[in-house]
Structure 1
Amino acid sequence: MLIALLFWLSVLFVWYAYVGYPLLLWCLGTVRRQVVRKGLIQPSVTFIITAYNEEKRIREKIENTLTQDYPKDRLDIVIASDCSTDRTDPIVQSFQPSGIRLVRLPHKGGKEAAQKFAVESTSSDILVFSDVATMLPPNGISTILKNFADPSVGCVSSVDCFIDQDGRVSGEGAYVQYEMWLRRLETTVNSLVGLSGSFFAARREVCLDWASDLQSDFNTLLNSVKKGLRGVSDEESVGYYKNLADERKEYERKVRTVVRGISVFMRSLALLNPFKYHLFAWQLISHKLCRWMVPFALILAFVTNGLLALNPGWYRTLFWGQAAFYGLAVLYLWSQRLPKVAMLRLPSFFVMVNLSILDAWFRYLRGDRILSWDPSKR
């Protein structure tokens, strides 16, 4: 029966996107292991922090950066201000005696435009990027640089350490843990498909073709692959950041992230050629495109299950199970009275993520590209 076939194909698609792909990576990892040959190196480094109206947090970020144990004569610290209109720039300038350098866009151009402006002002071998909200341990820079002793590595991603305002692990905390596990598998088998935008590093040659209108973390990874290099995740490089002060704004943040990611993907379709990019082409489709198509598969599964449930049988039980899952998730998203426990938060987070992806597709198809930015308040 066609409806039953469509139902099971849609279920299988969702299963592959979240379970099947990492399972295949794990299997490949038993026979194919790409070890990162780390070493103690001290190349010239530029540490770039992008800021827009961050007067409340920029001082803490600069003070945290100044605790880095990397040789001062090999480290250039740059704050790239996206034409901030508050006291961000004067605060940064007050740290000039400590070696902090300010570069300011003449007009607001977006995060990537500010990063490009900063990149063009440097000549270092390695560029390290970080957000204002991300705090690093004193050995943060020296640790992430060890990966570049391996000539096959073009860029390195940190591990996200996510905490709530009260220090608890939330639904996103579990989701972030899943993503970090997936990155470990990808690093073992071949290459990452994305970097943590809050803290990552790249060779200078990877950053020369910097696009001011494309998501920098994703695009930097793809540029590395185009140059025959790979991206890796380093479990010893950790960036610490807090949950959003207003969790309801997380939805809009995810929509923006996916819209920007789709824009990068559509400009890099040549990487889907398996004859040239081999294993990475499969990874890019599985990790990015399949994940972005999950909302459509979920809708198809629900609709076809509803049609199958018109007749008595276990399809009806499955349908009411789906309805209960989505009902609980929506109720949790909009209610402040339900207990804050992971068993309830995870379904709601799953639904919120896929609603944001669906929303992102509609916005992308109508022409939205989202170049401007307003840093999330954490």
Structure 2
Amino acid sequence: MELFLKILFYVSGFIIVWAMIGYPLSLKVIGKIYKNRNLRKDYSHQPTVTVMVVAHNEEKVILDKLYNILELDYPKDKIEFLISSDNSTDKTNEIVAKFIKEHQDRKLRLYEVKDRKGKTNAQNEAQKTVTSEYLVMTDANSMMDKNSVKELMAAFTSDDIAYVSGRLSIVNQGASEVSDAEASYWDSDMTIREIEGRIQTITAGNGALYACRTQDYYDFNPIQCHDSAMPPLYALQGKRAIANHDAIAYEKAGEVIEDEFGRKVRMNRIILKHILPDIRILNIFKYKWFSYFYFGHRTCRYLLWISHLILLLSNALLIHQSDLYSMTFAGQVLFYLLAIIAAITKTNNKYLVLIYYYTVTIIAQWAGVYRILTGKAKPFWEKAESTR
């Protein structure tokens, strides 16, 4: 029994440490080894493109988004814009329709989804009306840099590249401790994705801005998200998903913990499937670096919820074994106490905020698992108001 507990303790501890420290550090080392493998670009590659914006009750930001996409620096005869409204019940459709009427010199279309089934379904339905060679996906509250489409297209330099993700830049980083923590997370994750893409393929994209060939588009189940499901799909097909971080989308992070918690719960609505979406991923001889990337960047992170629980429980049962186990148990208890203190005191201490933010992330994973097991997971959600 003690041997079993020790195995549980060390395996769960390894998963946590590898996900948060070991894998990012290993990527930096690997990135230096492959430092001569750089992202290639071809700015003469300017195919026909449809920029698709999915919106549900976005009357607060949709007009700004419409003006934003019209400012994109791309040949006007090769770009069109498609707004897929996911059963909006506010003034979103009215605003878009009026804008289209006022800008008849531009290729603008509104697709109205009749039954609300979430972002992925809205993309699936609207995509069937697309005739351009490429699709660029973006959110209603994400403002695109004027060169973003040009940058995305320039990265499609070979037939095996099926997907290009842009960079999300948080514009309200100093607004609150929560947005600061989220911005720090994205900065770290963008560094990892850049290295993964240079070496072989990224394991997940960025929902604020990404592109794919129209012929490579896949109708995923509405409960799934393209940004997390597309890159693994293409990798298993022998194709590549890469990151071009010169293609930028600007967005506000949640400024209150309730908004960020809700967003992370939604992100984890199929966390159990994401742990290992396909057994073939384990075939390192065939998929090479992708197997390593997915295990470190995705599988270990998606196991944090259960790993922390197992680590705490197994540690509690091993305290009598040695001072080492007493110290690690005390460290875990202290960590969670600091998170509680941060929550109660609303402190501005950046270290306590990071501990609190991380703990909330783990709780959000548990909430996602609960929703899955109780059948409450859904493909749509209410937006976080502090991000608008």
Instruction: Note if contact 1:155-1:232 (Cα within 8 Å) is conserved in structure 2.
Output: yes
2:16 corresponds to 1:14: yes
Question: In 1, Cα distance between the equivalents of 2:183 and 2:173?
Answer: 12
Give the 3-state SS of the residue equivalent to 1:343 in structure 2. Answer: helix
Contact kept? 2:164, 2:241, Cα under 8 Å: yes
Q: How do residues 77-156 of structure 1 correspond to structure 2 at under 5 angstroms?
A: 77-96=81-100, 97-98=102-103, 99=106, 100-156=108-164
Q: What is the distance in 1 between the residues matched to 2:54 and 2:98?
A: 17
How far is the alpha carbon of 1:5 from its aligned partner?
4.6
- Taking the aligned partners of 1:91 and 1:262, their CA distance within structure 2 comes to 39
Q: CA RMSD in A?
A: 2.3
Aligned to 2:26: 24
- What's the secondary structure of 1:103's corresponding residue? strand
Paired with 2:20 and 2:325, the residues of 1 have a C-alpha distance of 23
Percent of paired sites with the same residue:
27
CA shift for structure 1 position 261: 4.9
**Counterpart-to-counterpart distance in 1, 2:128 and 2:348:** 46
Partner SS, residue 41 of structure 2: coil
1:232 shift after superposition: 1.0
Which residue of the partner structure matches residue 42 of structure 2? Answer: 39
1:210 Cα offset (Å): 4.6
Specify the SS of the correspondent of 1:192: coil
Aligned partners of 1:162 and 1:242 also within 8 Å:
yes
Q: Aligned-pair distance for 1:161?
A: 1.3
The corresponding residue for 2:245 is 235
Cα distance change on mapping 1:281 and 1:317 into 2, 3 Å: closer
Aligned with residue 59 of structure 1, among 63, 69, 72: 63
| Cross-structure match for 2:215 | 205
What's the CA shift for 1:299? Answer: 1.6
Name 1:159's counterpart in structure 2: 167
User: Are residues 163 and 324 of structure 1, via their aligned partners in 2, closer, same or farther at CA, if it must alter by over 3 Å?
Assistant: farther
- Structure 1 residue 284: deviation in Å? 2.2
Q: Is the Cα–Cα contact under 8 Å of residues 175 and 255 in structure 2 kept in the other structure? A: no
Aligned equivalent of 1:301:
311
Letter in 1 for 2:12: S
SS at structure 2 position matched to 1:238:
strand
> How far has the Cα of 1:78 moved from its partner?
0.7
Q: CA deviation at 1:340?
A: 1.7
Per-residue deviation, 1:166: 5.1
Deviates more, 1:196-205 or 1:45-54: 196-205
Q: Give, in angstroms, the shift of residue 344 of structure 1.
A: 1.4
C-alpha contact (below 8 Å) 1:170/1:345 kept by paired residues: no
Q: Distance in 1 between matches of 2:28 and 2:322?
A: 40
Tell me if 1:365 matches 2:373.
yes
Partner of 2:198: 188
- Secondary structure of the 2:89 match is coil
Post-superposition CA distance 1:146-203 (Å, at most 9, x none)? 1012333211111121243754661122112221121122113211000011111111
What are the residue-to-residue correspondences of 1:258-269 with 2, within 5 Å? Answer: 258-263=268-273, 268-269=278-279
Residue 130 of structure 1 aligns with an amino acid whose one-letter code is T
CA contact (8 A) 2:165 2:209 kept: yes
User: What letter corresponds to residue 36 of structure 1 in structure 2?
Assistant: L
Q: Which amino acid aligns with 1:16?
A: W
Are residues 1:178 and 2:173 paired? no
TM-score norm. by structure 1 comes to 0.91
Are the structure 2 counterparts of residues 226 and 297 from structure 1 closer, same or farther at C-alpha, using a change threshold of 3 Å?
closer
CA distance in 2, matches of 1:67, 1:27: 40
Contact 1:157 1:195 in 2 (8 A): yes
Query: What displacement does 1:215 show?
Result: 1.3
Offset, 1:4: 4.2
Residue by residue over 1:209-258, the C-alpha shift from the partner in whole angstroms, topping out at 9 and shown as x without a partner, is: 45444212122223322432111111212211112254313212211111
Q: Is 1:263–1:369's contact at 8 Å kept on the other side of the alignment?
A: no
> Is the 1:218–1:261 Cα contact (8 Å) retained in structure 2?
no
2 CA distance for matches of 1:212 and 1:298?
A: 30
Q: Deviation string for 1:88-130 (max 9, x for gaps)?
A: 0010011214232101012222111111122111111110011
Partners of 1:228 and 1:17 lie apart in 2 by 25
Question: After superposition, what is the alpha-carbon deviation per residue over 1:279-309, rounded to whole angstroms, capped at 9, x for unaligned?
Answer: 3233223322221112222222222333333
SS in 2 for 1:39: coil
My pick for the range that moved more, 131-140 or 23-32, is 23-32
Structure 1 portions without partners, runs of 5+: none
